[in-house]
Amino acid sequence: MKQLETDVIVVAAGLSGLAACCAAAEGGARVVCFEKASTTGGAANMGMGPLGVGSRIQREHMIPLSPIEAFRKHMYFTHYHVDPRLVRDYYFKSGDTIDWLCNMGVEFVGVQRAFGADEATRPYSDGEFTWHVCKPEGGGVPGPRAASGMMKKMTEYAQSLGVEFYLETPVKKLIQEDGAVVGVIAVDKNGEEIECRAPSTIVATGGFGDNPEMIKEYTGFEFGKTIFNFAVPGMKGDGMKMCWEAGAAKTPIIMEIMYQLPDNMNHFIIEGAFRQPCLWVDRNGNRFMPEDQIGNTTFTGNAISHLPGKVAFSIFDSKALKRYKKHGPDIISHVHPHDLYDHFDEQWERDLAAGYEPIAQGDTIEELAKNAGIDVDGLVAQVEEYNAMCDAGYDELFEKNRAYMQKIEKGPFYCCRQTVGAYGSLGGVKINHKMEAVNEDARPIPGLYCVGTDACSIYGDSYPFVLSGNTMGFCLNSGRIAGENAAAKVGF
């Protein structure tokens, strides 16, 4: 077995792990980082950008939100069910962390809370301007993967500080002596074991989005049946299991809920096209929320998770499709292409011919209901009631914005089944505000830190969309704080 010795071990080179590497190395520590995948960056390669409060960019844009206001807003949102000290330290660090990234050469297009739709329908319209959206490498409009350039810069910066990366070398076990974590056992791509020892180990393995058993056990959802989350390969819950084994307490775990289609990245046009305030029903044909709210993916995902079969159906008619093609969507998505209706027919025909299950078409409402798997009588009755309310210009049920009260009347009719999705899991390992893993009595496990989504239990039951960019924000800042503390511990 190969033997190594260092000051700080970082388990994984995703977002929180890289932040920990950079901060610990800046603090003067020798750092060894073991990563399971063949590249660095983890799920963050797929994202768009992190939260910050009080950054240089915000000051330049005269955005006055202060860390203490963000703290209060967060605690109000979570009803004080989460650790106030941890939340406080995160927000107070977050503005400086954006400046830190800028100093590494990371570029942001600006700071966002939402996109170009009217106030009533804007996704996250009651949010603050906290989301620092990364400039895509090579330019263009930011979308999924815009943050991959940030991950590259962080990796390069860590390498320039002397961090040693071992790729395709997952950590299998923490080494514990007299209660303290003193190192790890990793296995390289040739199957050789590496024993690495250090006074501090920072675990950052990104949750269990790719582990259906753990998803079922800890959240009740069934992957591929009741939830269609991003299952980023390798996110198996390794870090959580290792920390629990070392004596760390468990926290409640949630999925970071939104809504998405199965295999959504291959059906992205269809997914985006149906995120409109048209007619949304459950499988009995009943409306269940004011459709002008469906831009809020957290709310809509939560609502769908309480419907029969955990599915919803969004429906529009040919008139609406013509209008979307001519004037654009009613709600502009913040992740889907803005010209998606130009490509709708092509993808629709292709997916329909291939039998892509979530979509259905019908020349009559009855036919649509049958093809989509909605109760026929229920949908016919709901459409009649809805159309009558459209004629009256007033939604008696939910008072939906009247601009979107458009009748469902001209076939063919189009339908897309919507399912619960998630970015991954959140929470698992109990930590304190220094990012130390703690036991049931809130006593630190000596030598052990846990950061990122493995330890992100600060949201209560739902992602706090009012302060967007929050998961990347927490991952970055928890990693950075742990890296600084671990370096300080070895006396630098």
Instruction: State which of positions 229-288 bind ligand FAD (CB under 6 A).
Output: 230, 232, 234, 238
Amino acid at 281: V
Residue 466 touching ligand FAD (CB under 6 A): no
With CB under 6 A as the rule, give the number of residues binding ligand FAD: 39
Q: Which two tokens stand for residue 450?
A: 């846990």
Q: Is residue 423 a contact residue for ligand FAD (CB under 6 A)?
A: yes
Q: Under a CB-based contact definition with an 8 Å cutoff, are residues 83 and 434 in contact?
A: no
Q: Is 50 in the site for ligand FAD (CB under 6 A)?
A: yes
Q: Which is nearer to ligand FAD, 285 or 421 (CB)?
A: 421
Among 27, 47, 142, 277, which residue interacts with ligand FAD (rule: CB under 6 A)? 47
Cβ-based nearer residue to ligand FAD, 36 or 287: 36
Single out the residue of 78, 200, 302, 471 in contact with ligand FAD (rule: CB under 6 A).
471
42 binds ligand FAD (CB under 6 A): yes
Least spacing, CB of residue 56 vs ligand FAD, in Å: 19
Tell me which of 8, 10, 15, 154 binds ligand FAD, using CB under 6 A: 15
In the bound complex, what is the minimum distance in angstroms from residue 380's beta carbon to ligand FAD? 37
Closest CA to 207 of 51, 16, 46: 16
Helix pair 365-372, 376-392: axis angle to 10 deg: 130
Q: Which stretch binds ligand FAD (CB under 6 A): 31-39, 53-61, 82-90, 243-251?
A: 31-39
Cβ(413)–Cβ(365) below 8 Å: yes
Q: Which is nearer to ligand FAD, 234 or 277 (CB)?
A: 234
Which stretches does DSSP call E strand in 131-276?
Answer: 131-134, 164-166, 171-177, 180-187, 193-197, 200-203, 254-260
DSSP 8-state class, residue 62: T
Q: Which range of residues in 118-126, 204-212, 339-347, 374-382 is near ligand FAD by CB under 6 A?
A: 204-212
Instruction: Compare residues 100 and 316 and give the one whose CB is closer to ligand FAD.
Output: 100
Per CB under 6 A, does 487 bind ligand FAD?
A: no
| H helical segments located in 2-132 | 15-26, 56-60, 67-77, 84-104
CA pair distance 185, 296, nearest whole angstrom: 43
Contact stretch for ligand FAD (CB under 6 A) within 173-181, 277-285, 359-367, 464-472: 464-472
Give the H/E segment covering residue 108: strand 108-112
> In a 10 Å sphere around its CB, with 0-12 CB exposed, 13-18 middle and 19+ buried, how is residue 188 labelled?
middle
Task: Please give the single-letter amino acid code of residue 220.
Answer: G
Cβ atoms within 10 Å of 288's Cβ, excluding its own = 17
Spacing of C-alpha 63 from chain mean position = 24
Three-state SS at 153: helix
Letters for 151-190 (x = contact with ligand FAD by CB under 6 A, - = none) are -------------------xx-------------------
SS3 (DSSP) at 489:
helix
**Three-class secondary structure of residue 274 per DSSP:** coil
Verify binding: residue 142, ligand FAD, rule CB under 6 A. no
- Nearer to ligand FAD by Cβ, of 48 and 269: the residue is 48
| Footprint on this chain of ligand FAD (rule: CB under 6 A) | 11-17, 34-37, 42-44, 46-50, 144, 170-171, 204-206, 230, 232, 234, 238, 423-424, 452-453, 469-473, 475
